[in-house]
Amino acid sequence: MSPRPGGAKKKRADSDVFGKKQKNFLEALEEGYSAEDCVLVERDEFWDVPAIIHYNPLKLATYRVFWVEGSSLRHPVLLVELMLTSCLFLCIATVTMWYIDHQVGSDKNFTTRHWLEMQEDKMRDFAVIMTGITTFLLSFYMSMVISRWWDIITKGIAQIETSVMELSLYVYQLVTKDEEVITSIRRYTRASLFLIILWRRNKLDNLKEMMAKKKDLLTPSECDKLMSVKHNLHEVIWSWTTDIISMLYQEGQIKSDCLLQLLLDRCTQGRGAVQLIHTYIANKVPLQYVHLLGFLVKIHNVALALIMSLLFAVAWRNENWIMCTMLFARTLLLPTLFNAIILLCSELSDPFDGGMQDLPADRCDEHINKNSMAYIALTDNAPKWISERRAKNQREAQQAAPSASK
């Protein structure tokens, strides 16, 4: 019996598909369990602080999640809170075990152990209620903080970068190729982001020294003029960029009102992005809510340690070691998780104050600068047909100018 036509090809195709799946499987295993770090942390040379540059989500889905640099679980405050909760648990459990056989009431056979066993269901119900309320309020708080943090990234920093690049590109292509103008637009717009970082790290008093290190932003004379305002420097510096656009319009280099409106809109959007960042950082989540949430978390942790320690003492005397382990683990797990969420939210509320969770400030500025310069460099290195047609249009415009004047 002759083989079916195309049967060998089908087998080869199936074999190729299997080989690709096997390769993808091995690549995924290598990526997830390789010796590379889950998180890439580099030291910001300008600010001399560690910053998280990148992380691999796949590695965080493996058991390597138990040791991650930059995690809130490694925060020293969290360790202290964990030790305090554990000490409270052990102290109450020790005292309870000491009086576990103490008589309660007039009945000599009714001891503390019997009373605690009768109250166990009520205590567990109370612990569940406290945990539920705390979880709900914490999830709402965390959602709000992450939403504000994401707006700072996408509507703040990203919009500043967009304004820098579009202003540089449009002015260079449509208005003038004057190096002083293009460089100044790029310097002043980048400086607004740098000034936000100086504000949050309390370095504005040393503005000249910081700008001397960052040589391509502001000159000493420009620093003096900026410091004369002494208010909201990261926003008001956008007046210089707007003034440049106004100057170009007065000089007749911006020949269209529509183009003027476009460039002014980019200045407005950039200043608005800086204002958004300032508003989110200066106006945090209401104090009353954060205080109430922190108070509730601490009450929950104390109540949980109290209830679990009482039940732990009974389980210890009954030699129920599995129950002892579960009670102590619950006492450590939930308070640690709740405290970690509060600490994470406190760090995300200000991504410019110099912590490890902050944005890599110097890399952001370098990225914006290189991007805007790349747009201009590629404009000068356009494809041949674009360059030829642009040159032809310029020659025709020059030839038409004398005839128009006649």
In a domain, 56, yes or no: yes
- Tell me which residue range forms the domain holding 342: 75-142+285-348
Shared domain for 326 and 263, answered yes or no, is: no
Shared domain for 259 and 185, answered yes or no, is: yes
350 alpha-carbon distance from chain centroid: 9
Q: How many domains does the chain have?
A: 3
Shared domain for 90 and 113, answered yes or no, is: yes
Shared domain for 188 and 270, answered yes or no, is: yes
In a domain, 392, yes or no: no
Residue 110 is predicted with a pLDDT of 64
Shared domain for 221 and 280, answered yes or no, is: yes
Shared domain for 366 and 250, answered yes or no, is: yes
Reported as half-sphere exposure (CB side, CA atoms, 13 A), residue 216 has a value of 12
Tens digit of each residue's pLDDT (9 = 90 or more) over 83-95: 999 999 999 888 8
Quote the longest CA-to-CA distance of the chain: 123
Shared domain for 93 and 223, answered yes or no, is: no
Burial class of 313 by CB neighbour count within 10 A (0 to 12, 13 to 18, 19+): buried
Low-confidence ranges of the chain (pLDDT < 70): 1-23, 101-110, 112-113, 401-406
Query: Whose CA is closest to 376, among 186, 173, 162, 174?
Result: 173
Shared domain for 219 and 308, answered yes or no, is: no
Residue 246 is predicted with a pLDDT of 94
Residue 280 is predicted with a pLDDT of 92
Residue 13 is predicted with a pLDDT of 53
DSSP 245-258: HHHHHHTT-S--HH
Compute CA distances 246 → 213, 258, 315, 387, whole Å: 31, 13, 79, 29
In a domain, 249, yes or no: yes
In a domain, 375, yes or no: yes
In a domain, 100, yes or no: yes
Quote the CA–CA distance of 340 and 20 in Å, as a whole number: 42
Residue where the block lists tokens 């732990």? 312
**DSSP character for 4?**
P
Shared domain for 191 and 259, answered yes or no, is: yes
Cβ of 342: how many Cβ atoms within 10 Å? Answer: 22
Pair of tokens at residue 17:
């598909």
Reported as half-sphere exposure (CB side, CA atoms, 13 A), residue 282 has a value of 10
The model carries a pTM of 0.82
Residue 166 is predicted with a pLDDT of 92
Pair of tokens at residue 127:
């612990």
In a domain, 264, yes or no: yes
In a domain, 404, yes or no: no
In a domain, 398, yes or no: no
Shared domain for 235 and 375, answered yes or no, is: yes
Shared domain for 235 and 119, answered yes or no, is: no
Domain end point (choices 46, 67, 88)? 67
Shared domain for 319 and 364, answered yes or no, is: no
Residue 18 is predicted with a pLDDT of 46
Domain end point (choices 67, 94, 127)? 67
